[in-house]
């Protein structure tokens, strides 16, 4: 425990350090400090208690933010000095983060902060059960420390540079030493090679006398040969980096030769581990004979694992030389049977012998990646050609004739791309191609061990859609001979001729298709057994983006239904609407539960299952839309492709189950929860409700099929059912939106609980009481009001506390404090903004309970009253337009004899759609209510017009909530401004 | 054009005759959202803009005027069109499953979660944690003393 801190005086020599070491060595004082540190959770903002007890007294005595930062640094150093538990090491890292908040611009403090971050990270990795989960993160911390030192090289006094360099190289050396001991370097090849590039780059810029003094200081210590290890690790890494492997192999060889030259001068005890690496590098460079010779010299090693490594290399030398028999013979000589030999060969070469990660050679799949590029280009080209054909009205193509007409307005012609099945599939494929291209481009130097598998998953999904487009639903099929040729085309369905329809389907597609990315990463993590939080961190934005697209698609769908379908509602619980909601719900659950894996390394299996479910639901959604198995208002493009989609869904489910089963041991994580009243539990309950809601909606959606299968009777499960089932669950979810953020991580004490909940609960109850006084007695509206206020007050308190702490501590103005607070923790505060958007939407849903509706039959000049408004029919007339004839009525609206507006609902007859009638709604939106009018028909005998009039309160809140949700998600997606500036400075 | 106007007139005439006029009572509105449009079964007659839907709405109004109860009217439509005409299944026979399962999902999920959290709680080593309650003044005083020693 704490062994890495046995040489603190050597690592650092700032003023005060030795005092702290004294503190650490006195058991009583050490206990006190340790106790204090263990209580602190510095993962977020500066805790009020720390601020109040330690910083506030000094600030009141005139200490600046920078001085406060030094105090925190010293607390962090003390924590490192006593680091006997993970808690105190985390505290040190937390101090580093807080220092950054207090004094972002001081070079000295910046380096101290990076020291705390790197050394704290090393301590956490030492004291945790699963250190390998932190290694990539630690490599980044070490590299940042070294980069920061490099950046401040000119401005810092030389003694400070020396002490920091010694500390940084010591931490880096200890880290690499651990990796080497675990033979894990190759799994962090990219991160480690970056770290070594930085370390060697800095070493070349440091004064040479100082460098040799530093090596002498570091080398004879407990971690002897740090420098050699460092270079050896670089060589080993060079084997693993794709694309430039030959360059790296050459460099690796130079490093190793340097080691050998140095070891002749100053023998290092364990340089021999570089020998088989040298052999492998030679093999890679095509120098087979030398490689074989080098491997032979390593065969005599006393270390059995090195010996085994050398044997494997030798066998590979024979293989490369085109002598497989010789290879097998050689292996048979050193192992009793050929089977065993082959097994050993497989064990050593195909898999790492210690931790069983699969080592996939990234270059092995480059032909696949290249062929995917061609697929992508072909898909995009096909989509462009189809759009062109629609635009020029080439009605010799069946698809163009069916979904557009010469009279269709140009902008709606474009929507023809996704109006039918064939175009939709092609559009899907194009979007997938776009995602794959972007993902590969952005990951060209990252996640190289995952990307081959990710691309295989993409390949399978793409193949499926390509097969459908090419063999079953080809949009370029010519109009059959003898078909009744519509010389002007059949035109686009009038319902789809709305501006929202230009955005709603692409948004949904972008959402559906986008979930392929996190799914592919999850599969890759399972296949390669890299199931730490790396794949989750790598896909955070790749999940948020499709989630946002899906949300926007769903909201726009609601908006379209409201303004176009003419029934005054926005959500009908139609099977296809449900199909878009289901992956969004599981995706939302996933976005919440990954926070726990990132923070606590728990729920590995759960997160894999959630993202797989989300992806399956996106394909299932397409299946529902396309199969026509359920009656739906979205029957625009139903075809008989259902069986294919169903087959694909079954294939994905079986593959996922098998993969999870094969990797069940890697998916077990040590789940530790301290209390029910913790934020972790809050997240878990929220996940459970999301899943139950998803299951309930899925159950209701599929129940008609089940009923038909079991009883042979068709039934309908419509909105009254879903309203009944989902309203209580939705309110429960709303409750959890409020409760979650008010709970502390790990455990919430009773006092904190009372302090955090008293205001939100009090205000919520007060609002319910006031609503009851106003005569509202229905339970659901009352609960919704109370919960909305409860959640809103909770969010406000969180933000208020954060801003207040920053104002007090860093002396920032309210606006600056708010901006910096959000910028430094974008996912958290972006999440709160999204929650706020959801609240507005709930307020909008609440309005449904108070909407009123009336059917009126009016003659010109006649009027009627509804909810305080007077509606007068002023005139009725007909207009002939390019592809339809419109019967229009002017209805003037007054309230208390004051003019409000004139509404013009229309009844249209589409001439290019076999005279299909369609009602165009007229809506007058005010912030708190909408007036909604629709022409039902005209009684030609009496000359009266039948109007359906609705007054819908609070509907605007839904669209406003949607906009807030979009803003919040964008806040969470965008990178931190401060981090970006820092990275630019360090680059 | 003539064809269009004829079509418009026919649609309008039918609608004008069939569509119930004047304010709706609560039962009428409720039934309009409980009975599906028999043309496509895509949405309740209250939300649907088709002749068949308008006809059903008019019939409902008439049946209410004749003094028929909610159940009687619904039974009548089930007899004509089958169970599919109801917007939500009646909670009887096999259809009870539709209403029982969703709360069961929630209940089972909740119980499983409580069990899982208890399991996760039990896997925590007990010591140390019990001591971590809140920042005590005593600890702060000690820290304060250390700070003074360090001349911070």
Indicate if the pLDDT at residue A880 is higher than 70: yes
| Chain B, nearest residue to A18 by Cα | B150
- For residues A930 and A869, membership in a common domain is answered with yes
C-alpha A395/C-alpha A384 separation (Å) is 17
Give the pair of three-digit tokens for residue A607: 């997160």
Most A CBs within 10 A among B106, B125, B129, B138, hence the mutation to make, goes to: B106
CATH code of the domain covering residue A899: 2.60.98
How far are the Cα atoms of A544, A740, A760, A788, A823 from residue A835, in angstroms, in the given order? 15, 11, 15, 10, 17
CB contact under 8 A, B15 and A946: yes
- For residues A650 and A784, membership in a common domain is answered with no
CB contact under 8 A, B133 and A941: no
Average pLDDT over residues A515-540: 87
Query: DSSP string of A924-984?
Result: EE-SSEEEEEEEEEEETTTTEEEEEEEEEETHHHHHHHHHHHHHHHHHHHSPPHHHHHHHH
Residue that terminates a domain, selected from A128, A155, A185: A128
| Chain A, nearest residue to B7 by Cα | A915
| Chain A, nearest residue to B30 by Cα | A720
Highest averaged pLDDT of the listed ranges A252-256, A449-453, A683-687: A683-687
- Within-domain flag for A148: no
- For residues A735 and A764, membership in a common domain is answered with no
Give the pair of three-digit tokens for residue A236: 């080993």
Average pLDDT over residues A723-748: 89
Chain A contact set for B4 (CB, 8 A): 885, 909, 911, 915
CB contact under 8 A, A16 and B152: yes
Q: Say what the alpha-carbon torsion angle A125, A128, A134, A137 is, to the nearest 10 degrees.
A: -50
Summarised one tens digit per residue, pLDDT across range A45-83 is 556 666 666 677 777 777 777 777 877 777 777 777 666
Interstrand relation of A898-903 and A852-858 (parallel, antiparallel or unpaired): unpaired
Indicate if the pLDDT at residue A101 is higher than 70: yes
- Residue B11 pLDDT: 43
- Residue B136 pLDDT: 43
Summarised one tens digit per residue, pLDDT across range A885-895 is 888 999 999 99
- Within-domain flag for A68: yes
C-alpha A91/C-alpha A79 separation (Å) is 7
Residue of A699, A751, A944 with shortest CB distance to B102: A699
Residue numbers of the domain that contains A407: 362-497
Highest averaged pLDDT of the listed ranges A149-158, A374-383, A451-460, B125-134: A451-460
- Within-domain flag for A709: yes
- For residues A22 and A120, membership in a common domain is answered with yes
Q: Which residues contact A293 (CB under 8 A, 6 or more apart)?
A: none
Summarised one tens digit per residue, pLDDT across range A253-289 is 776 676 666 656 555 555 666 677 777 778 777 787 8
Give the pair of three-digit tokens for residue A59: 């600030």
Q: Is the CB of residue B126 less than 8 Å away from at least one CB of chain A?
A: no
Average pLDDT over residues A754-783: 92
CB contact under 8 A, B13 and A725: no
- For residues A9 and A74, membership in a common domain is answered with yes
Partner A, chain B 44-73, Cβ-Cβ below 8 Å: 44, 46-49, 54
Query: Of the candidates B123, B112, B129, which has an alpha carbon nearest to the alpha carbon of residue A669?
Result: B123
Most B CBs within 10 A among A917, A932, A935, hence the mutation to make, goes to: A917
Chain A contact set for B41 (CB, 8 A): 631, 716
C-alpha A851/C-alpha A844 separation (Å) is 11
- For residues A809 and A885, membership in a common domain is answered with no
State the smallest CA–CA distance between residue A714 and chain B in angstroms.
Answer: 6
Mutual orientation of helices A540-560 and A955-973 as an angle, nearest 10°?
A: 160
Q: Is the CB of residue B25 less than 8 Å away from at least one CB of chain A?
A: no
- Within-domain flag for A672: yes
Q: Is A694 within 8 Å of A725 (Cβ atoms)? A: no
- Tell me what percent of the residues of chain A surpass a pLDDT of 90: 24
Most B CBs within 10 A among A128, A609, A692, hence the mutation to make, goes to: A692
- Within-domain flag for A352: no
- Within-domain flag for A324: no
Task: Find the farthest-apart pair of alpha carbons in chain B and give their distance in angstroms, rounded.
Answer: 100
pLDDT band at B127 (very low <50, low <70, confident <90, very high): very low
For chains A and B, CB pairs below 8 A equal 260
CB contact under 8 A, A940 and B16: yes
Q: Which residues contact A261 (CB under 8 A, 6 or more apart)?
A: none
Average pLDDT of chain B is: 72
- Tell me what percent of the residues of chain A surpass a pLDDT of 70: 74
Query: A495: which DSSP letter?
Result: G
Among A111-115, A128-132, A448-452, A690-694, whose mean pLDDT is lowest? Answer: A128-132
Average pLDDT over residues A539-561: 93
State the smallest CA–CA distance between residue A505 and chain B in angstroms.
Answer: 20
CB contact under 8 A, A885 and B22: no
CB contact under 8 A, A39 and B134: yes
Summarised one tens digit per residue, pLDDT across range A932-949 is 998 877 777 777 888 889
C-alpha A705/C-alpha A711 separation (Å) is 10
State the smallest CA–CA distance between residue B73 and chain A in angstroms.
Answer: 17
- Residue A356 pLDDT: 33
State the smallest CA–CA distance between residue B70 and chain A in angstroms.
Answer: 15
CB contact under 8 A, A749 and B133: yes
Average pLDDT over residues A456-480: 87
- Residue A221 pLDDT: 37
**Other beta carbons less than 10 A from residue A296's beta carbon:** 15
- Residue A360 pLDDT: 41
Summarised one tens digit per residue, pLDDT across range A625-680 is 766 666 555 554 456 677 888 899 999 999 999 999 988 877 876 556 778 888 88
Indicate if the pLDDT at residue A689 is higher than 90: yes
- Within-domain flag for A616: yes
- For residues A453 and A586, membership in a common domain is answered with no
Q: Residue ranges of the domains in chain B?
A: 2-88, 96-149
Average pLDDT of chain A is: 78
CB contact under 8 A, B8 and A751: no
- Residue A488 pLDDT: 65
- Residue A936 pLDDT: 79
Most A CBs within 10 A among B85, B129, B150, B151, hence the mutation to make, goes to: B150
Summarised one tens digit per residue, pLDDT across range B3-25 is 444 444 444 434 443 343 444 57
Q: How much is the ipTM here? A: 0.72
CB contact under 8 A, A716 and B140: no
Average pLDDT over residues A85-91: 74
- For residues A694 and A765, membership in a common domain is answered with no
Strand ranges (E), A716-868: 852-858, 863-866
Indicate if the pLDDT at residue A243 is higher than 50: no
Indicate if the pLDDT at residue A814 is higher than 80: yes
Mutual orientation of helices A226-240 and A274-284 as an angle, nearest 10°?
A: 30
- For residues A674 and A557, membership in a common domain is answered with yes
Q: What CATH class does B2-88 carry?
A: mainly alpha
Three-state secondary-structure class, residue A903: strand
pLDDT band at B29 (very low <50, low <70, confident <90, very high): confident
- Residue A789 pLDDT: 96
- Residue A364 pLDDT: 44
Average pLDDT over residues A139-164: 84
- For residues A611 and A742, membership in a common domain is answered with yes
Indicate if the pLDDT at residue A589 is higher than 90: yes
State the smallest CA–CA distance between residue A507 and chain B in angstroms.
Answer: 24
Average pLDDT over residues A899-927: 85
Indicate if the pLDDT at residue A229 is higher than 80: no
Chain B contact set for A713 (CB, 8 A): 82-84
CB contact under 8 A, B43 and A29: no
Considering its fold, how many domains does chain A have in total? 5
- Residue A23 pLDDT: 58
CB contact under 8 A, A700 and B123: no
Among A46-55, A415-424, A813-822, whose mean pLDDT is lowest? Answer: A46-55
- Residue B40 pLDDT: 78
Chain B contact set for A29 (CB, 8 A): 142, 146
- For residues A915 and A776, membership in a common domain is answered with no
pLDDT band at B73 (very low <50, low <70, confident <90, very high): very high
Residue of B29, B88, B129 with shortest CB distance to A717: B88
Query: DSSP string of A892-931?
Result: EEEETTEEEEEE--EEEEEGGGTTEEEEE-EEEE-SSEEE
């Amino acid at each position: 425990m704490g062994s890495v801190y046995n040489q603190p005086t050597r690592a650092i020599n700032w003023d005060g350090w030795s005092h702290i070491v004294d503190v650490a060595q006195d058991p009583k004082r050490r206990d006190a400090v340790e106790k204090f540190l263990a209580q602190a959770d510095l993962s977020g903002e500066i805790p009020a208690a720390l601020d109040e007890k330690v910083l506030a007294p000094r600030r009141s005595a005139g200490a600046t933010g920078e001085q406060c930062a030094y105090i925190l640094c010293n607390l962090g150093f003390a924590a490192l000095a006593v680091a006997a538990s993970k808690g105190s090491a985390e505290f040190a890292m937390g101090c580093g983060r807080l220092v950054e908040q207090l004094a972002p611009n001081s070079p000295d403090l910046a380096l101290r902060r990076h020291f705390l971050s790197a050394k704290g990270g090393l301590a956490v990795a030492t004291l945790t059960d699963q250190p390998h989960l932190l290694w990539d993160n630690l490599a980044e911390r070490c590299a940042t420390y070294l980069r920061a030192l490099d950046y401040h090289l000119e401005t810092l006094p030389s003694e400070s540079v020396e002490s920091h360099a010694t500390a940084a190289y010591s931490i880096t050396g200890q880290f690499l030493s651990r990796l080497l001991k675990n033979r894990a370097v190759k799994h962090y090849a990219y991160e480690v090679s970056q770290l070594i590039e930085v370390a060697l780059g800095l070493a070349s810029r440091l004064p040479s006398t100082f460098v040799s003094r530093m090596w002498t200081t570091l080398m004879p210590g407990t971690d002897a040969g740090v420098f050699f290890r460092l270079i050896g690790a670089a060589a080993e890494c060079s084997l693993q980096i794709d694309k430039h492997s030959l360059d790296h192999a050459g460099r690796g060889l130079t490093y190793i030769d340097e080691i050998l030259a140095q070891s002749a001068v100053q023998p290092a005890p364990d340089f021999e581990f570089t020998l088989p690496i040298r052999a492998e590098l030679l093999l890679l460079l095509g120098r087979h004979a030398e490689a074989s010779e080098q491997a032979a010299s390593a065969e005599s090693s006393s270390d059995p694992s090195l010996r085994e490594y050398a044997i494997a290399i030798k066998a590979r030398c024979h293989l490369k030389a085109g002598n497989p028999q010789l290879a097998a013979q050689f292996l048979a000589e050193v192992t009793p049977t050929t089977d065993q030999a082959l097994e050993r060969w497989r064990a050593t070469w195909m898999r790492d012998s210690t931790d069983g990660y699969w080592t996939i050679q990234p270059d092995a799949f480059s032909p696949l990646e290249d062929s995917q590029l061609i697929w992508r280009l072909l898909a995009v080209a096909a989509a462009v050609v189809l759009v062109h054909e629609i635009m020029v009205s080439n009605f010799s193509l069946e698809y163009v004739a069916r979904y557009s007409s010469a009279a269709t307005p140009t902008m709606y012609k474009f929507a023809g791309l996704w109006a039918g099945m064939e175009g939709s599939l092609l559009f899907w494929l194009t979007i997938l191609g776009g995602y794959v291209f972007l993902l590969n481009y952005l990951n060209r130097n990252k996640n190289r061990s995952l990307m081959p598998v990710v691309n295989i998953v993409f390949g399978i999904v793409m193949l499926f859609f390509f097969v459908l487009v090419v063999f079953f639903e080809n949009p370029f099929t010519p109009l059959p001979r003898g078909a009744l040729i519509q010389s002007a085309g059949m035109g686009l369905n009038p319902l789809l001729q709305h501006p929202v329809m230009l955005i709603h389907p692409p948004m949904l597609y972008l959402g559906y298709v986008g979930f392929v990315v996190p799914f592919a990463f999850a599969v890759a993590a399972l296949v390669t057994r890299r199931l730490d939080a790396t794949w989750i961190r790598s896909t955070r934005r790749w999940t948020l983006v499709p989630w946002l697209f899906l949300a926007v698609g769903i909201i726009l769908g609601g908006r379209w239904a409201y303004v176009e379908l003419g029934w005054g509602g926005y959500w009908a619980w139609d099977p296809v609407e449900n199909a878009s909601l289901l992956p969004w719900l599981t995706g939302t659950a996933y976005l919440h539960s990954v926070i726990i894996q990132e923070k606590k390394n728990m729920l590995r299996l759960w997160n894999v299952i959630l993202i797989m479910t989300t992806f399956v639901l996106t394909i299932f959604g397409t299946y529902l839309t396309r199969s026509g198995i359920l009656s739906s208002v979205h029957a625009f493009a139903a075809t008989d492709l259902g069986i294919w989609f169903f087959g694909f869904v079954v294939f994905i489910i079986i593959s996922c189950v098998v993969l999870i089963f094969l990797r069940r041991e890697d998916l077990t994580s040590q789940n530790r929860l301290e209390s029910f009243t913790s934020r972790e539990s809050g997240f878990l309950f929220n996940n459970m409700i999301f899943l139950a809601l998803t299951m309930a909606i899925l159950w209701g959606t599929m129940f008609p099929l089940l009923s038909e299968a079991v009883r042979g009777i068709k039934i309908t499960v419509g909105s009254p059912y879903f309203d009944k089932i989902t309203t209580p669950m939705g309110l429960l979810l709303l409750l959890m939106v409020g409760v979650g953020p008010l709970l502390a991580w790990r455990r919430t004490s009773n006092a904190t609980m009372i302090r955090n909940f008293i205001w939100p609960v009090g205000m919520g109850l007060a609002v319910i009481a006031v609503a009851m006084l106003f005569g509202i007695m229905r339970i659901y509206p009352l609960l919704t009001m109370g919960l909305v206020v409860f959640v809103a007050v909770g969010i406000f308190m969180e933000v208020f506390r954060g801003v207040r702490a920053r104002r007090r501590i860093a002396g920032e103005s309210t606006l600056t404090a708010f901006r910096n607070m959000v910028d430094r923790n974008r996912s958290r505060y972006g999440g709160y903004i999204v929650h706020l958007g959801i609240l507005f939407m709930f307020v909008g849903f609440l309005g449904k309970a108070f909407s009123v509706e009336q059917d009126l039959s009016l003659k010109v000049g006649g009027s009627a009253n509804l909810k305080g408004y007077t509606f007068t029919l002023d005139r009725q007339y007909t207009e002939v337009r390019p592809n339809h004839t419109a019967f229009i009525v002017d209805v003037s609206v007054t309230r208390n004899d004051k003019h409000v507006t004139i509404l013009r609902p229309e009844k249209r007859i589409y001439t290019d759609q076999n005279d299909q009638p369609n009602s165009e709604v007229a809506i007058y939106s005010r912030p708190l209510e909408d007036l909604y009018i629709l022409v039902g028909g005209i009684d030609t005998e009496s000359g009266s017009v039948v109007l359906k009039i609705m007054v819908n309160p609070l509907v605007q809140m839904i669209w406003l909530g949607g906009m807030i949700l979009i803003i919040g998600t964008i806040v969470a997606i965008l990178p931190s401004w401060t981090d970006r500036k820092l990275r630019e400075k360090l680059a | 054009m003539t064809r269009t106007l004829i079509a418009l007139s026919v649609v309008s005439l039918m609608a004008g005759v069939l569509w119930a006029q004047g304010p709706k009572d609560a039962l009428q509105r409720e039934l309009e959202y409980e009975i599906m449009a028999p043309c496509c079964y895509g949405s309740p007659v209250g939300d649907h803009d088709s002749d068949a839907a308008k006809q059903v709405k008019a019939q409902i109004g008439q049946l209410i005027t004749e003094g028929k109860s909610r159940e009687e009217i619904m039974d009548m439509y089930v007899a004509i069109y089958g169970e599919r005409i109801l917007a939500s299944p009646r909670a009887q026979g096999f259809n009870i499953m539709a209403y029982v399962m969703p709360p069961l999902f929630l209940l089972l999920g909740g119980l499983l979660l409580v069990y899982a959290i208890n399991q996760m709680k039990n896997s925590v080593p007990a010591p140390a944690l019990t001591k971590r309650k809140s920042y005590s003044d005593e600890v702060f005083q000690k820290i304060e003393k250390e700070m003074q020693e360090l001349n911070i």
